[in-house]
Structure 1
Amino acid sequence: MTKPVLLILSVGELGTNVLESAARSGLFGRIVIAGRDGAKARARANSTIIGAGLEFDYPIIEGLELDVNGPAFVPRIKSIAPDIIFTTASMMPWWQLEKSSAPRLPFGGYLSLHLSVMNTFRDRLAEADLDAIWIGASYPDVVNPILHRTGFGPLCGIGNVQEPIPKIVAGLSRRLSLSPDQIRVKLVAQHAFEYAVLSDEVTADLPPYLLHVEAAGRDVTEQARQVLLEPFPFTYDLFFNRITASAAIEAFRAILSPKPAAVHLPGVNGLIGGYPVVVDGGCARLDLHSDWTEAQAIDTNCRSLCHDGIAAIDPDGTVHFTESTQKAFAALLGRSVARLEIGGAAQQANDILNAL
């Protein structure tokens, strides 16, 4: 049976880490990494060929020039015929924002830097009309819902809700002297939750979340909450992209599984935040604990948005910023910004970049 084709659209740090991990996963027969800088894409592909080959993995790996704004984008992406498209582009990634000395915005204030690029990708992918699964990894807890509310959007994102779960499993495994595979976690949480619990200063005032954990068939949720509150020294630097790449591999495995696969994913089916889901046949459905309703889970993640500086997202995709974010915009741009509409994302992103 022919293995599927993965297309990674972005030659940045996360795209490269996903390339390296995917090449060693055994999941794909062909992997294409593509971006505006074709020479960089080819160099990253060649590096991966050597590294993966040293570990006895030899999928076909190619680096291509592919400009989402260029006339060749649609015919070239059709010729690649990917089974999975992974996009992770931003006008300025989070790790570069950390270097700026300009006044800081809450994380949600930088939304336009991700949304403007992902909106362009969405429009060009619509032109290509491919039968491929799209994974959007650029701030998926918020970007993916906006894309779905203004057209079509990715099946899901990666990271965020996935990444605190190993802390829970590893901590409980040690506490209870159980194998990790005996521990089952269901977590509903939005992007901000991860940063609150993967920290050396965890407080009880966490962003809203839902949690149920069983170990060897018994409820250990309260012990899991204690684990979440334990200090967990963690550095958010370029190495963090390696962790997010592992989250991507977990998502790829679930999507490509020949039988229904349980996994946690953010921005799934256009929902705000992250959820436990079952992926089956390229589709995903919520897999909530029996005590939770879908409305309750969605509301939990919506109430968490303020921890990213976002007050609400309207049904038409308009984003309203919190008062603190509006004040931060005033400090950065010299004027307050109350909201973001998808049509204004490119201009708002350019205003931010100019200020930075």
Structure 2
Amino acid sequence: MTPPTDGSDKPRIMLLGMGDLSARVLSMLLGDPATNRVVLAGRDTEAIRRRGNLALFTAANLGLHGTVDTVHIDLRDVGATAETLAEVRPDIIFMGGSLQSWRVITALPEAVFKDLDEAQFGPWLPMHLTLNHLLMRAVRDSGVDTRVVNAAFPDAVGPILGKVGLAPAIGVGNVANIVPALTLGAAHLLDTHPSRVELRLTAQHYFSHYVPRFGDAGRGAYHLAATVRGRPGTAELDHGALFAQLGGRLKRLGGIDGQLLTASSAVRVLRGMATDSGVLAHAPAPDGLPGGYPVRVSRDGGTLDLPEGLDRDEAIRLNEECQRADGIDHIDDDGTVHFTEPEMAVMKRLLGYECRRMRLDDAGAWADELGRKYAAFAAKHR
């Protein structure tokens, strides 16, 4: 890798896993002088170099000039990854890699997808945990003082790795993705401009996945508080009327198009860390906590900024309860995950896959089995 030659002391941000989400994040980072010193990392260096050049040229059309370097990283080789990290010394790592994207099952025929979606997201955990575990081991071994921002099921990956001292600093997406629509919906109900409304939402992935699709909270435990600038106290909101708007007048595009929203939530966090700003944001798994929270973002990640009347223990309890609706019953102190029976029963019925208990070190083997069984299932429904 050729180091930047502009003498910049701006944070160096490494993007790992150059799929659609990371590509969108890259374009946004290059649009801000505070975040435009980027390193792309992956196995196919030629492909990611071309991706980087496309983003550079696009930014140049707008009069924006950052730097994008490229390095080879294969997360399966922990030792080599650690050596590369020690050489590059990124200040922040954005982890966008996963063994199977969440959106893969959305390509199934609609009726088949709806049936499989009843399993929720928890049973797919090994696909998102495996590479994060390898990355965090490499970060530890590298000795580099870097902060990892995780986009792959951070609500569960963070607390699992936190049990063994390997949690990423913070996650992105999920709880953050629903806040803009809730803010607009609350402004509508409170007859004010959205810029005057400040929400604080505590909720796990299940909630942010369910509400936009069905217009209610389903089985998701959560806490939501809203204030309006210039008005005293917490605003009174009809949550049923608020959530119904997300299934109606505020319904948005999902799937790959919806990743634009996730990218913007990621860049809010990355910019906050790069500038040590203390900006209010919503993010999953700050410091390895389960689920999602309102946070103040600074160099080291996110610090909880809970609303009046909600303490840390209750916020965690709500997220753990919501996590059970997502198919994860609980996490042991050694990182072993226990899955819920009803959700895993869907996976067994449709895919012939059943994992009721998963040790952290076995996540890769479970991911391999799940990948094979899903591929066979998908082939039958083409």
Q: Provide TM-score, normalisation by structure 1.
A: 0.93
In the TM superposition, what are the counterparts of 1:52-67 in structure 2 within 5 Å?
A: 52-67=59-74
Question: C-alpha distance in 2, partners of 1:132/1:234?
Answer: 35
Q: Does 1:211 align with 2:241?
A: no
- Residue in 1 that maps onto 2:28: 21
Give the C-alpha shift of residue 266 in structure 1. Answer: 0.5
1:256 paired with 2:239, answer: no
**2:178 is aligned with 1:171:** no
- Residue deviations 1:94-140, cap 9 Å, x none? 12232357883431111001111111111111111211111111100
Aligned pairs for 1:231-270 within 5 A: 231=247, 232-270=250-288
The counterpart of 2:105, out of the listed 82, 97, 112, is 97
Please give the alpha-carbon distance, in whole angstroms, between the structure 2 residues aligned to 1:353 and 1:258: 39
* Aligned residues of 2:330 and 2:337 also touching (Cα < 8 A): yes
Q: Is the 8 A contact 1:44 1:63 kept in 2?
A: no
Q: Who is 2:380 aligned against?
A: none
In 1: Cα distance, 2:31 partner to 2:261 partner: 15
Question: For 1:177 and 1:338, how far apart are their aligned partners in 2?
Answer: 48
Q: Does 1:222 align with 2:240?
A: no
Which stretch shifts more, 278-287 or 5-14? 278-287
> Which residue of structure 1 aligns with residue 48 of structure 2?
41
Instruction: Look up the SS of the partner of 1:90 in the other structure.
Output: coil
| Corresponding letter in the other structure for 1:47 | L
Question: Counterparts of 1:338 and 1:306 in 2: how far apart (Å)?
Answer: 13
| Match among 321, 342, 346 for residue 328 of structure 1 | 346
Q: Post-superposition shift, 1:53? A: 1.1
Matched, 1:133 2:141: no
Q: What whole-Å deviation, never above 9, does each CA across 1:325-355 have from its counterpart, x for those lacking one?
A: 2312322453632111111101110101111
The Cα of 1:297 is off from its aligned counterpart by 0.6
Deviates more, 1:139-148 or 1:229-238: 229-238
Q: 2:122 pairs with 108, 133, 140, which one? A: 108
**Counterpart of 1:228 in structure 2: which amino acid?**
F
- Give the Cα–Cα distance (whole angstroms) in 2 for the partners of residues 320 and 347 of structure 1: 16
Matched, 1:304 2:311: no
The aligned counterpart of 1:88 is 96
Q: Is residue 49 of structure 2 the alignment partner of residue 31 of structure 1?
A: no
Say whether residues 1:351 and 2:359 are aligned partners.
Answer: no
How far apart are residue 258 of structure 1 and its match? 4.1
- Separation in 1, partners of 2:353, 2:30: 46
1-side partners of 2:267 and 2:149: how far apart? 12
**Match among 286, 289, 293 for residue 307 of structure 2:** 289
Q: Which runs of 4+ in 1 moved over 4 A?
A: 100-103
CA RMSD of aligned residues (A): 2.1
1:229 shift after superposition: 2.8
Residue 155 of structure 1: aligned partner? 169
* Distance in 1 separating the partners of 2:276 and 2:216: 41
Any idea what the Cα deviations from partners look like across 1:181-240, whole Å, max 9, x if unmatched?
A: 3211111000011122222x3135351100110112332241466322322423321112
**Are the aligned partners of 2:150 and 2:170 in contact in 1 as well (CA < 8 Å)?**
yes
> 2: CA distance between counterparts of 1:29 and 1:247?
17
CA contact (8 A) 2:30 2:59 kept: yes
Q: Which amino acid aligns with 2:100?
A: M
How many Å separate the matches in 2 of 1:258 and 1:326? 41
- 1:258/1:121 CA distance change after superposition, 3 Å: closer
Consecutive unaligned residues in structure 1, runs of 5 or more: none
Q: Aligned partner of 1:222: which letter?
A: L
| Residue correspondence of structure 1 range 70-89 to structure 2 within 5 A | 70=77, 72-89=80-97
Aligned to 2:19: 12
What residue number does 2:295 align with? Answer: 277
Q: Deviations over 1:276-330 (max 9, x none)?
A: 1223442532111121121111000000012211112222221111111231232
Aligned to 1:185: 199
The more displaced of 323-332 and 339-348 is: 323-332
Query: Corresponding residue for 1:51?
Result: 58
The verdict on how the C-alpha distance between 1:259 and 1:91 changes in structure 2, with shifts beyond 3 A counting, is closer
Aligned AA (2:97):
A
Offset from partner CA, 1:234-285 (integer Å, 9 cap, x none): 3321112211110011111222334433221101111100111223442532
Q: Which stretch has the larger CA shift, 124-133 or 176-185? A: 176-185
Aligned residues: 355
